[in-house]
Structure 1
Amino acid sequence: MDQTTSTAPAPLAADRLSPSLALTELECRSRFLLGQDAGVTELAQASSDQSPLGHIFMSAPPYLDTIAMFKAAIRQLPEGSRWHKLWDWCYAENLDDPRRPLCLRLKAGSGDRFCSDITALLQAKLEDKDTDQALKDLVACQPQEKRLAGYLATLLARVAAGEDFAHPVLFNLLVNHQDPAQVPIVHNRDLSDVGLFGEITFETQEGTVSANQHLLRPGDLHSANGGYLLLSAAELLENPELWTRLKESLFAQSIHWTQYRGQVPGNPLFMPDPMPLDVKLVLFGDRQDHLELLTQDRDLSQLFPYFVEWSPFVPVAQASDLAGHLLRQCQKASLKAPTTEALACLLRHGCRLSEDQERIALAHHRFNELLTRAHFFAKGKNIEVADIQQAISARENAQALARQLSRDSMARGQILIETQGRRIGQVNGLTVLDMGSVEFGEPSRITATVHYGDGDIIDIERKAELAGNIHAKGVMILTAFLASRFAQEGPMHLSASLVFEQSYHEVDGDSASAGELLCLLSALAELPVRQGIAITGAVDQFGNVQAIGGVNAKIEGFFEVCKARGLDGEQGVILPLANLSQLNLSDEVIAAVADGRFHLWSVEHVDQAVALMMDATAGEPDRHGNYPDDSVYGRIHARLAALVELEEPIMTLSRRFWGWLGFGKH
């Protein structure tokens, strides 16, 4: 074993506890798609694909403004690479059967004028030759479509014959593009039959139910025809019947109208023509949504060959570019301009959101919110660092009731947490409570008791059905570690029970497994553990300490509890070495570390944590596999050996006793 893994590490220096951001000269320019080159390239390929099966799945984390990024990417595509076939769509009365309105396509942007001109001509009752010429002039402005030309020719003949029509206005313009150069991008917010496919409304006159082309109401598929329709993958997963109908429309490339369900059987059906469909469907969600859709429907890979994945962060090397973008956003929103130092403070908060010192989360909504709050707090001409810090605190404090109640319970002794002294079989683990829109860290008391047995570890959380699968896996792994250390040549004669004290909600994750292992080692070796040091980290079967999530919230949660009781210079947190690049702690914690009032240690192996928590080396075996008597592992081996020596007389006496009772042969 490497000597470095069995000795206590030195405390971390304060300069390693937060990212270092140096903003150079800022260029106030919108860079909404910063760091999204891969996603933009994939979207450009998808947009140029004119096949009916070239649809898109767009993946991004929830905090990313996915819709805005998609629109920005489409706007910046070269004109020649954009996929779009725009038409205006209208429904006209079928001159032979009014129950079957005809779907006609018109030049994009001309539909409103075309329909109003034809209506005016028909209502003006001009001379036949004048009407004939006027209609021909209107047709000449439209694509030379046989169906439209044939319809208008029939219309001319009926007008000349003085025939009346079922409805005084023959045309209903269903889709009209005011700006033909603007590709429609429709974000569906009503995922239903009506919201997607439109509806046929009916009217009642003198007890008779009837319909005409003017009672058709378009859905988002009609509005997005020739452009892009954006749908939530998560919502679509909850509507399998709707997905089936939508898929049929994509394959058939047409939109069929839903029949009126309230019609009396036997009545003539009102059946408008289906509208030809030429749309790019864009499903947005995360990778889990994509996986679930693939699992439920094998057609998804055929329909959605393009996968656009937006990066949730940018490297700190691009901090100046992102700062310039935020400066531009302040100008657009008429907010006070933040100073360079204020922007650096805001971007450090972005590093905290990404839990990485080298990456800044692209949390545009959060940045805009904090800048708006800082504008409110700013007293001078500019937004200063103090204003950004106050904005961050205001946001956190607005939802801090649950955190404050937890802290009060610990202060009153209703939740028992010790931050001084030493205890056998008791360790302060660290957890993160997720309250939906806010999360915070707090210590959790882990205890272990040891008794004679066959080496089993009883996980009380699991027995009480309060532990998730990942937590159960963590307990199994640390059980395997103990077996590899102390039960290679025979069974352990000590069993233990493990529990999170005063925990009444479900516990999951393996980030407490390092603390649980230390707790068990303390109980097995009968050595006390320092209560002023909390620990977080996951362990593998070899005792290596692995990275965990929420490291900043966990450290700050324990720091607040210690601060409320008085920092004594001996308190701190042990964290995995792999989490060092994720540290982005509050200024208060950094100041306490710099002053020596609070400490942080990073460890690679559980033996290093043992040396810190128990003031004794874990122990390294000699060439015969024996551990030093004064080491933690040596004490445990000695205790187990003593039990083996006691076991033989006890078993001999037991056999004699049962023999005296006549059960010797059994």
Structure 2
Amino acid sequence: MARDDCKVPVAQLRWECDPAQFAFETTADLNELEGSIGQERALKSIDFGLDMRDGGFNLFLAGEAGTGRSSTIKNLLKKRARTEQPPQDWCYVYNFRNPDLPQSLALPAGMGSELAADMKELLESIRNVIPKALDSKEYESNKSTIVEEYQEKNGELFGRLEQEAESRGFALQRTVSGLVMVPQKEGRNYTQEEYEALEKGERDKIDEAGKELTEKLNDVLRQVRENEKATKETLAQLDRDLGLAAVGHHIDPLKEKYAPYGKVVSYLESVQEDVLLNLEDFKEQQPQQSPIPGLKLPRQEPSFERYQVNVFVDNKGMEGAPVVFEANPTYNNLFGRIEHVMQMGGMATTNFTLVKPGALHRANGGYLIVDAREVLINPFAWDALKRCIRSGEIRIEDVLEQYRFMSIASLKPEPIPLQTKIIMIGSPWIYYLLFYMEPDYRKFFKVKADFDSRIARTPEIMRDYALFVATHCKNESLLHFDRSGVAGLLEYSARLVEDQERLSSQFMEIADLIREASYWAGQYQSTVVTREHVRKAIDEKVYRSNRIEERMQELFDDGTILCDTDGSEVGQINGLSVLTIGDYMFGRPSRVTARTYIGRGGMVNIEREVKLSGPIHDKGVLILTGYLGGKFAHDKPLSFSASICFEQSYEGVEGDSASSTELYALLSALSGVPIRQGIAVTGSVNQLGKVQPIGGVNYKIEGFYAVCKAKGLTGEQGVMIPASNLRHLMLKDEVLEAVREGRFHIWSVATIDQGIEILTGVPAGEWQPDGGYPEGSINFLVDRRLREMLESMKKFTASPEKDEKKER
């Protein structure tokens, strides 16, 4: 194939967007973008995952940063949530049976705060009503009547007992040890001497009577205690009746109001019972007596905290389902916390009003969005999230309790049922890491929404790009773009993905360029952003990052890094590589040399020997042996030694994009035909000699162009690329202008034979039916040289063998 046939026309070196295809003058004429740009696959996956209500169909949004994962899901959920019913309110209340286990109550949206207000009003009412009722004359009269009846009954019992004792010569007296029966003599107690002076029969008679009276005294005391117990019960019933009369007409309306919610009604009944059992707490408290005379201690008020309602999740006024994005998904932020109050002496106390909700509680009945990486790096968060999904309920626990040396007072609130769709956002690397390393992940996140970093360039997509620009300009008060500015932005987007038929979907970078172009338009006092302002923004962005590239260019200029851009050399060629430093990429040429000599060592990759090459580069070099064997070992074995090296390479080499370059240098060294140094080469090769596509083609071309420009463009220089990379060309204006003027060239090749012909100006030569290559062709010269090396090896090894036979 003739050399000019492989030259790439200027029209194929870049896709240029025609501004005339847009119907607007500036983006100010456009509406805002609704939805996302492209990503049909991801959008269908999201719709499916959100529609599936079965357990485990949570979503993982996988994609590179800046592809619109967060903004897309937020916009979709915002629209979807409006059409759904607001979730329930959740409240925590005091558990009167087990105070360490606060009870959860579910109420329709807005009724949680109503219940809290109702309980507050109830408490205020009964605190006013009960003391008044306890101080009423009727209550005091009834209480006095009961006490008088008790005293009257006791008086009758003791009166009869005293009469009987007196009739039998005894008296009922109170001593330190209690009531006792004492024998009497002439109206006074017997002395010990008088009692002992009595005859035995008389003493036995007195003892028998004392024993009988003592038994009757015990019966009376037993009856008194029963009367006392009955009196207390009567007084308690009096208090209860009074409490019911005072409290009942306040609680009964609440029971009617919350009648559809049985758990709330049960709670109100428990409140009523507790109030009736603790009426003393509602009495007016007397000042505490001080042990120091004259010192008044403050009055100790009883705590009524147990009657409060902790409105845990309040959805009052919410329109639709909640959408919660938790930026910091720590354990407490996700699952809630139990706060503590430090008391004097360092003691920590808590109660049900200090139970606080987490993101899962706020998103319950709606949607929760979290960053996958943040969930994984926060201790306990991922394991707790799995347990939560598995059990279908949200538990609030003190996760650090097991790690403390000393336990503190804590609670175990009743779990709340989980009804949340969980959406995790992360990179593809995190997705596959979880998929293969975390077995439970597949059970709980069954839907993957894959966001691509590039999208097909269609008229619809380009219109959406214009709407995207208009939306950013309006929301951020930026200068609007005219048609040429949008066209320049689209060209930049195509360059980001190095594809003439696709655009970038990493809208974070696109949005940054919109802001920067608006800034430069403002600096030039322009009212709109044009293509020139977009180019200015791109150039300035490059200038902020290309210090290392310029430093390396200086090394080429002053000859520190050797790179010939003119003349011809045998076994020497300019390869191309791409360096990535942070967010900046640039290309640079690298001299590749090959030397051949007699031997059986085959090809030696110097980078591999010193461990400066990666496995992919090593594979590319080894492929060369397969190519040479298939090409030149039809009628003879390969017997040669060669060394291939990247000159002045002081860092690692990886990738197979230099394999064709190394093969060209090797063919030149074997054939003895020099290679034009003004042509740099990139492309990988397979064993059949076909040139395969590579990445970073634009950076490689522009890197070599910069070196040639510095050394002087001769009109014979250029870059040779694989033909399959033509659609990836999005070159800068400067390179296009040089090609247009004939000062620089781009060649595309599909095979090694095409490439070696361009590099040497000598036909490659095809295998002839008679079993050889055309005389004078590159392949003929290589084949002849390989045969000569084989014959030399035979001569070199023949003599020692004969000498050895003679000795034997």
Fold shared per TM-score above 0.5: yes
State the alpha-carbon separation in 1 of the partners of residues 595 and 334 from structure 2.
Answer: 61
Q: C-alpha displacement at 1:584, in angstroms? A: 1.0
Cα–Cα, structure 1 residues 302 and 168, in superposed 2: closer, same or farther, change >3 Å? Answer: closer
Q: 2:544 aligns with which of 395, 398, 419?
A: 398
Is the helix fraction higher in 1 or 2?
A: 2
Give the partner amino acid of 2:554: D
Cα distance in 2 for partners of 1:24, 1:118 equals: 64
Partner residue, 1:174: 312
Give how far 1:221 is off. 2.5
Q: Contact 1:524–1:636 at 8 Å: present in 2 too? A: yes
Contact 1:106/1:142 (CA < 8 Å) preserved in 2? no
Matches within 5 A, 1:494-533: 494-533=640-679
Shift of 1:493: 1.6
Deviation of 1:339 after TM superposition, in Å, equals 0.8
Map of 1:21 onto structure 2: 17
Three-state SS of the structure 2 residue aligned to 1:63 is: coil
Root mean square deviation of aligned Cα: 2.8
Output the CA distance in 2 between the equivalents of 1:141 and 1:565: 91
Q: Distance in 1 between matches of 2:114 and 2:707?
A: 71
**5+ long unaligned stretches in structure 1:** none
1:9-158 equivalence runs, <5 A? 9-22=5-18, 23-26=21-24, 27-77=30-80, 86-123=87-124, 125-127=127-129, 144-158=260-274
Give the stretch that moved more between structures: 196-205 or 119-128: 119-128
Identify if the C-alpha distance between structure 1 residues 620 and 146 changes in structure 2 by more than 3 Å, giving closer, same or farther. Answer: same
The aligned residue for residue 258 of structure 1 is 397
Contact 2:490 2:503 in 1 (8 A): yes
Structure-2 separation of matches of 1:46 and 1:136? 46
Once the 2 structures are TM-superposed, how far is the Cα of residue 225 of structure 1 from its aligned partner?
2.3
What is the CA–CA distance in structure 2 between the aligned matches of 1:404 and 1:250, rounded to whole Å? 54
Describe the SS at the equivalent of 1:99: coil
Give 2:616's aligned residue: 470
- 1:133 to partner: Cα distance: 6.2
Counterpart Cα distance in 2 of 1:119 and 1:245: 35
8 Å Cα contact 1:25-1:320 kept in structure 2? no
**Secondary structure of the equivalent of 1:623?**
coil
Stretch of structure 1 that moved more, 192-201 or 466-475:
192-201
**Equivalent residue in structure 2 for 1:293, among 434, 442, 455:** 434
- Offset at residue 416 of structure 1 (A): 1.8
Letter in 1 for 2:438: D
> Which shows bigger deviation, 70-79 or 39-48?
70-79
2:639 maps to which of 464, 469, 493: 493
Closer, same or farther: CA 269–327 of 1 in aligned 2, 3 Å:
closer
Per-residue deviation at 1:295?
A: 1.0
| 1:317 lines up with 2:455 in the alignment | no
Task: Return the index of the structure with the highest Cα Rg.
Answer: 2
Match of 1:220 among 332, 356, 359: 359
When structure 1 is superposed on structure 2, of 565-574 and 360-369 the one drifting more is 360-369
Question: 1:305-364: per-residue Cα shift (whole Å, max 9, x none)?
Answer: 322223432423221232133123212221111110111011110111122111121232
Report the secondary structure of 1:627's partner residue: coil
How many angstroms apart in 2 are the aligned matches of 1:607 and 1:130? 106
**Alpha-carbon displacement from aligned partner over 1:585-617 (angstroms, at most 9, x marks no partner):** 111111111011111111111211111111112
CA distance in 1, matches of 2:512, 2:308: 51
1:69 Cα deviation (Å)? 0.9
Change in Cα spacing, 1:326 to 1:637, as seen in structure 2 (3 Å) is same
Alpha-carbon distance between aligned partners in 2 of 1:420 and 1:179, rounded to the nearest angstrom: 77
CA contact (8 A) 1:8 1:611 kept: no
Deviation per residue, 1:196-248 (Å, 9 max, x gap): 33333333322323222343343333333222223334455667964333212
Q: Which stretch shows the higher mean deviation, 210-219 or 495-504? A: 210-219
* Counterpart selection for 2:417 from 273, 276, 279: 276
**Matched position secondary structure for 1:9:** helix
Shift of the 265–636 alpha-carbon distance from structure 1 to 2, 3 Å rule, reads same
TM-score for both structures, normalised by structure 2:
0.76
Change (3 A) 1:461 1:8: farther
Distance 1:180 1:623, change over 3 A: same
Q: Provide the secondary structure at the position in 1 that maps to 2:315.
A: coil
Alignment of 1:206-605 (within 5 A): 206-235=345-374, 242-259=381-398, 260-261=400-401, 263=404, 269-312=410-453, 313-318=455-460, 319-378=462-521, 379-454=525-600, 456-605=602-751
1:613-641 CA distances to partner (integer Å, 9 max, x unpaired)?
11112211101331123111111111111
* Partner Cα separation in structure 2 for residue 133 and residue 514 of structure 1: 95
Distance 1:8 1:234 in 2: 53
Give SS of 2:6's match: coil
Q: Cα–Cα, structure 1 residues 268 and 355, in superposed 2: closer, same or farther, change >3 Å? A: same
Deviation larger for 99-108 or 586-595: 99-108
Given that 1:237 and 1:293 are in contact with CA atoms closer than 8 Å, whether structure 2 keeps it comes out as no
- Shift in Å at residue 254 of structure 1? 1.6
Structure 2 gap ranges (5+): 25-29, 130-242, 282-301
Q: Give the distance between the partners of 2:91 and 2:406, measured in 1 at CA.
A: 29
Distance 1:157 1:354, change over 3 A: same
Structure 1 distance, partners of 2:648, 2:124, is 82
Q: For residues 793 and 465 of structure 2, what CA distance do their matches in structure 1 show?
A: 69
In 2, Cα distance between the equivalents of 1:305 and 1:520? 53
Asked if structure 2 preserves the Cα contact closer than 8 Å seen for 1:529 and 1:614, the reply is: yes
- Secondary structure at the counterpart of residue 440 of structure 1: strand
8 Å contact 2:336–2:355 — kept in the other structure?
yes
- 2:58–2:421 contact (8 Å) kept in structure 1: yes
TM-superposed CA distance for 1:191, in Å, is 4.2
Asked if structure 1 preserves the Cα contact closer than 8 Å seen for 2:331 and 2:380, the reply is no
Cα distance per residue 1:10-63 (max 9 Å; x no partner): 321111111132332144331441323433333222222222221112122223
| Pair 1:32–1:402, CA change in 2 (3 A) | farther
Instruction: State whether residues 331 and 379 of structure 2, in contact with CA within 8 Å, keep that contact through their aligned partners in structure 1.
Output: no
Q: 1:624 aligns with which of 770, 780, 803?
A: 770
Do structure 1's residue 197 and structure 2's residue 335 form an aligned pair?
Answer: yes
Paired residue secondary structure (2:448): strand
Q: Supply the distance in 1 between the matched residues of 2:469 and 2:254 (Cα, whole angstroms).
A: 50
- Counterpart CA distance in 2 for 1:395 and 1:53 is 45
Once the two structures are overlaid, the 10-residue window that deviates more, 62-71 or 499-508, is 499-508
Question: Which residue identity lines up with residue 58 of structure 1 in the other structure?
Answer: L
Q: Percent identity?
A: 32
- The aligned counterpart of 1:646 is 792
Aligned length: 656
Residue 192 of structure 1 deviates from its aligned partner by: 3.5
* Contact 2:82–2:321, Cα closer than 8 Å, also in 1: no
Q: Structure 1 residues 104 and 165 mapped into 2: Cα distance closer, same or farther (>3 Å)?
A: farther
